Structure 1
Amino acid sequence: MTVVTLAAANVEELRDFYRALGWEELPASRDDWVGFLVGGVVLALHPRTALSEETGAGMYGGGFTLAVNVDSPEDVDTAYDAALAMGAGDVAEPQERAWGGRSAYFADPEGNRWEIAYNEAVVFGDRGEVVAFG
């Protein structure tokens, strides 16, 4: 797992909260996406309505997604197809995203949303952990 995205009703308020905890904001952050590198995983804040539209899930459950970043755009398709073959629910087919990468979403058997993503701004360490983002 490389990214946990929280659906935020107020991105700026959550941004201020995590900054107040002393967490360092990633340089790739914007008004509509804020990230913090925490122990090799990115905690991302994304507007609730935008995340709902991207995942096709409506205003679902706890308001979060889990993501696994892969090494290439082609790996998004391969991983997505493998998840569906294992019984995952089809949420959003692989596609180019407005943020400049490629991703797809599937649901596990309990409906939790997982994103398979390629983003050239992600830098991995030797153990596969995120060491830089943006």
Structure 2
Amino acid sequence: MDPRITLITLGVSDLAESIRFYRDGLGLPMQEQEDDSNVAFFPLDGTWLSLYPRELLAEDATVTTDGSGFSGVTIAHNVSTKEEVDAVLAEAEAAGGRIVNPAQEAFWGGYSGYFADPDEHLWEVACPQLTDN
């Protein structure tokens, strides 16, 4: 296997709401979507993010949709400063996300916080190294 991640697909309950959150709220660039399409693609630096209806994603993977709670997966977004961590968390909250864990100095020496998107997918926003700026 060639070790790389090229696409992360999030199963969502309301595609239009999730597009508004990621494209309009967080400002992620979105590939043009066909009118009848039920998937959204966001080309990012080094990988792509896609949004797909949760029921259809479960059907494609041949699993049930009845799972709830923590799935054991988080997505991380690293930035360069504590101020950027705070700004991204504020941007996510303003876009309709929920702050799960406010930004704080982390036990591993950085600064991070978590938000949940409208479908409760967890994102960590982190500054790996604290700086004096």
TM-score bracket relative to the smaller structure:
0.3 to 0.5
Question: Is the radius of gyration larger for structure 1 or structure 2?
Answer: 2
Instruction: Identify, as 1 or 2, the structure richer in strand.
Output: 1
